[in-house]
Amino acid sequence: MFDRERRLYADQYGYARQLTADIPDEEFAEEPVPGMNHPAWILGHLTVTADFGLHLLGEKPVAPEGWGAMFSPGSVPDPNRGNYPTKAEYLNAYEAAHAGLSAAVAALDDARAAKPNPVASLKARFPTLGDLVAHLLTTHEATHLGQLSAWRRIMGKKGVSV
């Protein structure tokens, strides 16, 4: 179960690595448009979202301490680069979170996936746990990587092929 979604999630991971490959560490928190999600916030947010998925599946989180407060829904990107981890720390945490969530989803069985979504605010859109997990692996990830692609273009960087 979820083989297709896991393949798409892996593809999104590769896309994220392409999108960030040529971004210097010092530009990770640049805000070319006030309030725009920048690479530091996006990668941090995707890491804590994977942690949320791990939590939903009863697994241990992997994001560094304090990342939840900085990158959870409702948090605001800060243009001060000094308030964030290094690019290498982001990429390492993102990789660990991706691998952890993918492995946890591989072990998710049909009966558990069919259970009701435990997140009340998302039940209307994603009625079951499986629906929510599929969203985390696909549409949520792609939405934020689209923001990263837009950020690149505004910063004058070349596009990246998907």
Residue 136 placed within a domain: yes
pLDDT confidence of residue 156? 97
pLDDT confidence of residue 15? 97
Kindly report the pTM of this predicted structure. 0.96
CA distances from 104 to 24, 90, 145 (A): 32, 21, 22
Residue 135 placed within a domain: yes
**CA dist., res. 91 & res. 93, Å (int):** 6
Residue 161 placed within a domain: no
**Does residue 60 surpass a pLDDT of 80?**
yes
**CA dist., res. 70 & res. 41, Å (int):** 8
pLDDT confidence of residue 68? 94
Residue 160 placed within a domain: no
pLDDT confidence of residue 162? 76
> Each residue of 4-13: pLDDT tens digit?
999 999 999 9
> Each residue of 27-36: pLDDT tens digit?
999 999 998 9
Residue 27 placed within a domain: yes
Instruction: Look over the chain and give the mean of its residue pLDDT values, rounded to a whole number.
Output: 96
Contact residues for 160 (Cβ-Cβ < 8 A; gap 6+): 15, 18, 19, 149, 152
Tokens 């995707």 belong to 46
> Each residue of 119-144: pLDDT tens digit?
999 999 999 999 999 999 999 999 99
- The total number of structural domains in the chain stands at 1
Three-state secondary structure call for residue 77: coil
The whole-number average pLDDT for the span 96-103 is: 98
Residue 51 placed within a domain: yes
Residue 159 placed within a domain: no
pLDDT confidence of residue 143? 97
Domain that holds residue 45: 3-154
Are the CB atoms for 145 and 19 separated by under 8 Å? yes
The whole-number average pLDDT for the span 38-54 is: 97
- CATH number for the domain including 46? 1.20.120.450
Residue 86 placed within a domain: yes
